[in-house]
A and B are shown apart, each in its own frame.
Chain A
């Protein structure tokens, strides 16, 4: 019960203080929106639906990684983060509370290209439950990557630089807009080391019916990434934040 009160209040505070702030809302909406528009205008003949999985993946990736890395480094530099480390809540609860806000933010970001696409085309009858679950898993792994960046960064600008360093290459490495089969051979192994590749593949399968890997394998890999990243984050937090 006590852990639950702490969890809920950390989540509520983050949503109110960070995620609902106008600059962040606009970042969450404008970036996916402009990217979506750009893609649609550039390739007018292409089926909008073909772009949708990549756009969803991208929106989730950008929303989650940037928010968590920035808010945590911000709280660390203002020292308010110490309060969480000094509170009698387990590291698990704290990490979960921190990433839940980001995951919710990421899922809302995913809605932007979906709503947008619905203006251009009829959305097919697809398994929305599975899509939502995939989006959640993508948001979870991305949030954990953002957390991993936050643990390594000391300054807010460092966190921003780090996260851009990771996520821009991921746009191209994870098959979001360029199929992995079209990447140079030496880059392909890198693609399969990134969780987003698997998430995007499931979304592709659900929305366009064109997937390269089997769905159970992708779900398995995403779950595996979630667990490994979670443990890695905990290990790093323990090592770096408790000096």
Chain B
């Protein structure tokens, strides 16, 4: 069951990408199963899912590197399946792994990539230096790519995709294998591109990345989009109730039943000796609760509302352990 609800676009919003009932099978195995989504111009859509969810398969179909088994892909009004080359002219693609020419230097790589898009020599040379500077690779510009570190290669791959100033950027796990500082730089650059009007499709399995950079997120698991929407929409889509957590001076175990009857429809659990959690369908006002404890002669040191994280929402919707979204890459690499 797909929870995807077609986006109703507001006036003046331009739909840049629309994917309908897209499917990809490898033999009997269905890697992408009937997914649909739309991306507006200048929007960043995060495609968040664990290993093997079908992220790369989806990108490959959208960029024309592989053939869809079924479904429709429209990019800026161009049918990708019929006019692949025309659609590719406005795309920039960062593959999940380095696909640079190792025997050439960084500068040559950038120039060559731009030449494939028909960019004239003088233009591509100045753009290459500009991007090398932006990615702090200027000093390494004349060094062969095989002498680059993994992070440097990743950055150069992204720069190569930006050479021809694409209207749409596909990023397949752009920050995998990159240190925190460089990841931050890349995220900032992604947001900057968005402000310039670039439409971005970002596949990732880092929740934090999706949360920080994306306007909307689609959760993908086992080839299906389980949910999609803006972060607040996703938060609201799961009924998590309202939760408050209290830290008391004494163990409040004795008052649990009384508390539950006083505050209708709430469920109280003692978490550790001195802390308890109340969950209710309706919002719980803090003051009456504090007053309750005051009457019992128990001081309260801390009271706060607990909000679900995007991670909780993901776990709830997909039934997949959230740890999968953080460590799997490193584990996958080691295998």
A-side interface residues toward B, CB under 8 Å? 1-3, 5-6, 8-10, 13, 17, 75, 78-80, 82-90, 242-243
Contacts and interface: CB of A to CB of B under 8 A. Distances in A.
**Residue among B60, B89, B99 with the most chain A CB within 10 A?**
B99
A83 B88 CA distance: 11
Nearest to A75: B101
A243 B25 CA distance: 11
Contacts of A86: 63-65, 88, 91, 93
Contact of A79 (B64, B97, B103): B97
Contacts of A75: 101
B27 to A, nearest CB: 12
A83 B118 contact: no
Nearest to B111: A9
B157 to A, nearest CB: 10
B128 interface: no
B134 to A, nearest CB: 21
A9 B116 contact: yes
B222 interface: no
Contacts of B271: none
A96 to B, nearest CB: 14
Contacts, number: 71
Given A6-B116, A8-B115, A79-B99, 10 more contacts: A13-B104, A75-B101, A80-B101, A82-B95, A85-B65, A86-B63, A88-B86, A88-B116, A242-B67, A243-B65
B255 interface: no
19 contacts: A5-B118, A5-B120, A6-B115, A9-B112, A13-B101, A17-B101, A75-B101, A78-B99, A80-B100, A84-B116, A86-B88, A86-B91, A88-B85, A88-B89, A89-B85, A90-B85, A242-B64, A243-B60, A243-B66
A1 B98 CA distance: 29
B95 A5 contact: no
A82 B117 CA distance: 14
A6 B97 CA distance: 23
B168 interface: no
Given A13-B104, A80-B101, A83-B113, A242 B120 contact: no
Contacts of A85: 64-65
